Amino acid sequence: MNSSNAERSDLPRTIGLWSAVAILVGSVIGSGIFRSPAAIAERVPSATGIMLVWIAGGAFALCGALTVAELAAAYPRSGGPYVYLREAWGKLPAFLYGWAELTIIRAAALGAIATTFAEYFMRALGNDPAVAPYSDQVHYVAAAAILIVGTLNYCGVRWGTLLQNTTTIAKYGALLVIIALAFAVALGGDATATAAPVTAVAGDATVSIGAFGLALVSVLWAYDGWADLSKVSGEVKDPQRVLPRAIIIGTVAVIVVYLLANLAYLSVLSVDGMRASRLVAADVASKAMGPSGLAFVVGAVMISTFGTLNGSLLTGPRVLFGMAEHGSVFSRLGRIHPRFQTPHVAIATATILGALFVLVGTFENLADAFVTAIIPFYAWAVAGIYLLRRRPGYQPPFRVPGYPVVPALFIAATIYLLGNALLDPGSRLATMAVFGAILLGVPVYYLTGGRSRSA
């Protein structure tokens, strides 16, 4: 790797391999696998279609993760995609990504994750989160959760990684327990608990391309997080070796458990039952184990979403930090706390915006806004590998297997998703609003002298 790629960061490198894997897995497994299946079953009303959309989402995530593994090893700096966009395409694309993180991406992600935590918290108290006044209280509980986790990350990366390691083990283990119990009930032939046999996965129904694309957006919300580890690259030990391994191990582990979880859901609930289930994991456990199963899953989901909330606040603010570190607008975001050694201004900013977003947004519109805003930048960053591979001196310690096909598949899938969202009458207006907010970053870039700032 040439000298221009050398890392220059004041953040200490304290994250090892398994902590890195925990950050990725913990950032991915959160609200999506527990909350998105209902929306997916609504759009793809067949067991076969449901499984296919989860497989397609996993393939999409893996193609992106393999490419990002190469880029992360080549440029192990805080900010992840922001750094890759800047290195490959220049300052304006990188600035637009940072702008989108500041104004939409991080706040929407935090809001959607915290909403699921709050809904299950209400369920734990014996209240229905879909009914007033509890549906209103969900927003306040979610905002409080964001503020608490933001405070923990403000006070040090060690607290954040400790919480991440603990919750990741708990949530992955809980998913495996739910999967095992569901399969045990289905294979045991308990007719009172089983609404649909495992063989129902072989069922079929006509699914339009457009509906499949909209379902894939919900799946990508559940898979998102595979690139989050790259955002804390500047704090990973031995990054050229650790980052590729952690990204690949973590992504594959998530894909495997997600596919098993959906098979387990379908073994206990019919497609119609899944479509009507707002809190699918809780309903599956209730059918499989009764009240004790419900209590177990509610606790597991609360731990899971709390951990993902932590992962989002551990990684996302590093994009804002990396943006400020390069002399971009909002240089205050690059300040490091003298005692805690964290990018405290970036963390505080993301925390406050997330709390504000969750007070006014629903899970569905926050999750859709997040996916719509972030995947164009992921594709843009992935496409940069074609430019970087042709540059003299570019010698990454890890190279994506299947190049150039693997990055191309990711880019093609992104174009399909965005085109489908723009063509669909139900999502067109929201998609255009997200793109409009991102494009507002262009005049901000020029009006604030972004072009003249240092590289």
Interval 316-359: pLDDT, tens: 787 877 777 666 556 777 788 888 777 888 889 999 999 999 99
Q: State residue 7 phi and psi, 5-degree precision.
A: -80, 135
C-alpha torsion angle, residues 178, 39, 29, 170 (rounded to 10):
-30
Instruction: Name the β-bridge partners of 232.
Output: 78
pLDDT of residue 252: 94
CATH class of 12-450: mainly alpha
d(CA 32, CA 48): 19
Rounded (10°) angle between helices 106-124 and 344-360: 60
Instruction: Annotate 354-379 with b (16+ C-beta within 10 A) or e (fewer).
Output: bbebbeebebbebbbbbbbbbbbbbb
pLDDT of residue 328: 57
d(CA 68, CA 217): 20
The parts of the chain modelled with pLDDT lower than 50 are 1-9, 191-204, 454-455
pLDDT of residue 416: 85
List own/partner pairs for 405-408 with CB under 8 A and 24 or more apart: 406/63, 406/66, 406/67, 407/63, 407/67, 407/382, 407/383
pLDDT of residue 312: 82
pLDDT of residue 254: 93
Token readout for 417 is 């998703």
d(CA 113, CA 287): 25
The number of CA neighbours under 13 Å toward the Cβ of 190 is 17
pLDDT of residue 326: 66
> Does pTM top 0.75 for this prediction?
yes
Eight-state DSSP code of residue 165 = H
Burial class (CB in 10 A: 0-12, 13-18, 19+), 220: buried
Token readout for 253 is 């582990």
Segments making up each domain of the chain, as ranges: 12-450
Each residue's pLDDT tens digit, 58-71: 999 999 999 999 99
Token readout for 7 is 């890392």
Rounded (10°) angle between helices 363-388 and 209-223: 80
Instruction: Name the β-bridge partners of 78.
Output: 232
pLDDT of residue 1: 41
